[in-house]
Chain A
Amino acid sequence: MNEIIKIEELKRTFIVGAENVHALKGISFSIRQGEFVSIMGASGSGKSTLLNILGCLDTPTSGEYMIDGVKVSMQSRNQLSVLRNRKIGFVFQSYNLLARTTALENVELPLLYNHTISTKERHERAMSALVSVGLESRMYHMPNQLSGGQQQRVAIARALVNDPVIVLADEATGNLDTRTSYEIMSLFQELHAKGKTIAFVTHEADIAAFTDRTILLRDGYIIKDEPIEKQFAKKALELLPISEEP
């Protein structure tokens, strides 16, 4: 299968005052098309730095990062914007939806920055993205009229609308209760089943358990990278005590 993401000897050093802080000390891995990877690690392990680089928000100090065949370290700031716009879908912990803007318009947002897409196509794609996350009845709701889980679904729809080569989720269940977290994970598993490539950053082992493969970071190194026995979120949901039902 195609390698969507290919990282070789990646290093990222920050200069803080007079000190050099080595956040990533030389890591290598690849993510192939259709994989569902979780990236785990405690705080300070370098996983945020890795996510920023994977998301083309940051460039490595040295080493190689290729996304969908494009060398990221060679790109200018504007070119990085285009890469993010066309190849990456972000899902954040705090949803990051625009207030007082309908779900539909929030989902349309990435396509607004793509001049090749007409207004009509933008609407259609945003609508079908919302349908695919099960929010067809909430298209014209404002974020403050939606529950946390629904807001995260809107954010996922926004990440899918540009048909990215990879969806990057940053603690996407961090603000949600267990049941809603499992529902969101179940949605991710559905998307994965439809062929989406997903990288899921988390520090919760039970969330990582819903993925196919875990990359574990510690102190800027990968200390474990292996496939895991995937659990199904739907089953986990059924096992949850009924009392948690609202």
Chain B
Amino acid sequence: MNLFNLIKIAVRALLRNKGRTLLTMLGIIIGIASVIAMVSLGQSSTISVTEELSSMGSNMIMVSPARQMRGGVNLGRTNARSLDKKDLQTIRQNAKYVDKISPLVTTAAQLIVGGRNHPGSIQGVNPEYLDIRKYELENGAMFTEDDIKRYSKVCVIGKTVVDNLFPDGENPLGKTIRFGAIPMKVVGVLKSKGQNQMGQDQDDVVFVPYTTVQKRFMAITYFNMLFVSAVSESESELAATEITYILRHNHNIKEGTEDDFDIRTQEELLTTINSITKMLTLLLAAIASISLVVGGIGIMNIMYVTVTERTKEIGLRMSIGAQQRDILIQFLSESVILSLLGGIIGIMLGLLLSFGLSKVLNWPFIVSEGAILISFLVCAATGIFFGWYPAKRAANLDPINALRYE
């Protein structure tokens, strides 16, 4: 019997019980749809995270002091004093792959304007910090190197700070904000960047010359961190190596001793995040594939019913010359078509689902050809695997008994 006739017979048999066919396919449809949606959403979340990170500056390198241990007690990073002005200058002068570099000195203070106040997280930086972190100005200007030399009492503030301190829409430029007891003049307002991938508000920031923070707020000479941008993304590893070399030299670290600083590139962070999302995707797909197995069992069940129902037809086909193989293939093709049809509907539904969700979550919509192909093959395999025993039972029926079956 040729393929066309087989398909015709199978489709006709399936159409005879439309409701039952649809219900049986439902298991496969749900299984495939969830696998497709999970994989597709997993991939689009990866891409969205990657995009987010590059918008933070994919060539960014963060240098922080290593955790300090004293007598077996981990003192954390905050007390570390290993990064200072000399490090900043030597890196700027010697590192070929470093484009921009800014120190970061952080402190917190209550910001007060008239009757309003707002807890401010103050970041002492230099003008290059804007480029490294990909911030842009909406109004006014960034403070200058001059301000840094003179420990000027100026600041650049983010959108959230503006909204809290100047809610009536007044122009903050030129206004004075008291940082606790210290009055600071607003010279610039940042463009909004929104939340980052970890949910932090990137607009709740106050940029101040780092020397001002060091001298007027904290009375320290070290930096909390150094933010560096490499010449390009691909050279960020080279830049990191250079910085390591310079810092080890500056800090007189002997060979075989550990660094007293940590260097993290965005690339590393990306790799970590990608591997986490990949794992989650796999996990979700694995869970979804369980429903595929359940769907397969549904097919098996209904094929057993079909074989019993059509015992007389099987007897007739055998009596007019159908061989066992013919009967086997007939019922096998029925179950394969059943599961493939379910698979196709499931693929379409899954794509629709991931399209809708990616629109809602504002992620890119990804069609994973691999997942579609695999789903298709899995469906065919499900049809064969779960259709085999019922079909085998049909083929093994005794023609005499099958003919007499009522």
* Contact surface of A with B, Cβ cutoff 8 Å: 52, 55, 57-58, 77-78, 81-82, 84-86, 90, 92, 96, 98, 100-101, 109-110, 112-115, 158, 162
Chain A-chain B contacts (Cβ-Cβ < 8 Å), number: 58
Interchain Cβ contacts under 8 Å between A and B, 6 examples: A57-B400, A77-B323, A78-B325, A82-B323, A162-B320, A162-B321
Taking a contact as CB atoms under 8 Å apart, the answer to whether B313 and A84 are in contact is no
**Most chain B beta-carbon contacts within 10 A, residue among A109, A112, A158:** A112
* CB atoms of A85 and B324 under 8 A apart: no
With A81-B323, A100-B12, A113-B326 as given contacts, are A58 and B400 in contact (CB-CB < 8 Å)? yes
Q: Are B324 and A77 in contact (CB under 8 A)?
A: yes
A96 to B323, CA, bound (A): 18
A81–B400 CB distance below 8 A? no
Smallest Cβ-Cβ distance to A99: which chain B residue: B16
Interface pairs A-B: 6 shortest CB-CB = A85-B321, A110-B320, A113-B321, A81-B323, A96-B316, A84-B321
Which residues on B are within 8 Å of A, measured CB to CB?
Answer: 1, 5, 12, 16, 312-313, 315-326, 399-400, 403
Q: Chain B: which residue is nearest A78 at the CB level?
A: B323
Give the distance in Å from the alpha carbon of A112 to the alpha carbon of B4 in the complex. 11
Q: How far is the CA of A230 from the CA of B185 in the complex (A)?
A: 127
A112's contact among B1, B319, B403, by CB below 8 Å, is which? B1
Give Cα A78 to B5, complex, Å: 21
Kindly provide the distance from the CB of B124 to the nearest chain A CB, expressed in whole angstroms: 83
Contacts of A162 in B (CB 8 A): 320-321
> Which of chain A's residues have a CB closer than 8 A to the CB of B318?
57, 81, 84
Q: Across the interface, which residues of B come within 8 angstroms of A58, CB to CB?
A: 400
In the complex, the answer to whether A113 meets B323 with C-beta atoms within 8 Å is: yes
**Chain A residues closer than 8 Å to B313, beta-carbon distance:** 98
Instruction: Give the complex CA separation of A210 and B322 in angstroms.
Output: 32
Q: How far is the CA of A82 from the CA of B320 in the complex (A)?
A: 9
- Verify A57–B319 contact, CB threshold 8 A: yes
Which residue of A57, A92, A113, A158 contacts B322 across the interface (Cβ within 8 Å)? A113
Chain B's nearest CB lies how many Å from the CB of A198? 17
Assuming the contacts A52-B400, A58-B400, asked whether A113 and B1 have C-beta atoms less than 8 A apart, the reply is yes
B residues less than 8 Å from A101 (CB atoms): 12
Which B-chain residue is minimally distant from A51 (CB atoms)? B400
In the bound complex, CA of A201 to CA of B230 (Å):
97
A78 touches B324 (CB 8 A): yes
Q: How far is the CA of A57 from the CA of B16 in the complex (A)?
A: 29
Q: How distant is the Cα of A115 from the Cα of B403 in the complex, in angstroms? A: 24
In the bound complex, what is the Cα–Cα distance between A57 and B404 (angstroms)?
Answer: 12
User: How far is A78 from B213 in the complex, measured between Cα atoms in Å?
Assistant: 94
Chain B residues, CB < 8 A from A92: 316, 403
Q: Is A113 touching B12 in the complex (CB atoms < 8 A)?
A: no
CB–CB A90/B319 < 8 A: yes
**A158 neighbours in B (Cβ, 8 Å):** 320
Q: A90-B319, A112-B1, A113-B1 are in contact. Are A57 and B399 (CB under 8 A)?
A: yes
Q: Identify which of A78, A100, A114 contacts B16 (C-beta below 8 A).
A: A100
Give the docked Cα–Cα distance between A52 and B318 (Å): 13
Chain B: CB-nearest residue to A94: B312
A84 near B319: Cβ-Cβ < 8 Å: yes
Supposing A58-B400, A100-B12 touch, asked if A109 and B317 sit within 8 A by C-beta, the answer is yes
Judging by beta carbons under 8 Å apart, are A55 and B319 in contact?
yes
Whole-angstrom distance between the alpha carbons of A84 and B316 in the complex?
11
State in angstroms the CA–CA spacing of A70 and B400 once bound together. Answer: 21
> In whole angstroms, how far apart are the Cα atoms of A99 and B400 in the complex?
20
Q: Contact between A114 and B321 (Cβ–Cβ < 8 Å)?
A: yes
CB distance from A167 to the nearest CB of B (A): 12
Picked from A52, A86, A100, the residue with its CB within 8 Å of the CB of B321 is A86
In the complex, the answer to whether A109 meets B324 with C-beta atoms within 8 Å is no
Cβ–Cβ < 8 Å partners of B312 in chain A: 96
Instruction: Return chain A residues, CB-CB under 8 Å to B403.
Output: 57, 92, 96
Smallest CB-CB separation from B16: which chain A residue?
A100
Closest to B318 in A: A81
Query: Which of B313, B316, B324 has most chain A Cβ within 10 Å?
Result: B316
Q: Name B322's closest neighbour in chain A (CB-CB).
A: A113
Min distance, Cβ A43 to any Cβ of chain B, angstroms: 13
Task: Determine the distance from Cα of A55 to Cα of B403 in the docked complex, in whole angstroms.
Answer: 13
Q: Is A109 a contact of B320 with CB atoms below 8 Å?
A: yes
In the complex the two chains form, what is the Cα distance from A84 to B324 in whole Å? 13
Whether the pair A110, B324 counts as a contact (CB closer than 8 A) is: no
Q: How many angstroms between the C-alpha atoms of A78 and B319 in the bound complex?
A: 12
| Shortest beta-carbon distance from A170 to chain B in Å | 9
Asked whether, in the complex, the Cβ of B16 is within 8 Å of the Cβ of A85, the reply is no
Contacts of A96 in B (CB 8 A): 312, 315-316, 403
Give the distance in Å from the alpha carbon of A173 to the alpha carbon of B195 in the complex. Answer: 85
A85 to B19, alpha carbons, bound, how many Å? Answer: 35
Question: In the complex, what distance in Å separates the CA atom of A84 from the CA atom of B12?
Answer: 26
Q: Indicate which residue in B5, B315, B320 contacts A85 across the interface (CB closer than 8 Å).
A: B320
Q: How far does the alpha carbon of A40 sit from the alpha carbon of B276 in the complex, in Å?
A: 81
B315 proximity list for chain A (CB < 8 A): 96
CB pair A112–B316 under 8 Å, yes or no, is: no
Give the CA-CA distance A77 to B325 in the complex, in Å. 11
Q: How far is the CB of A234 from chain B (nearest CB, A)?
A: 30
Cβ of A85: which chain B residues have Cβ within 8 Å of it?
320-321
The distance in angstroms between the C-alpha atoms of A84 and B317, with both chains bound, is 11
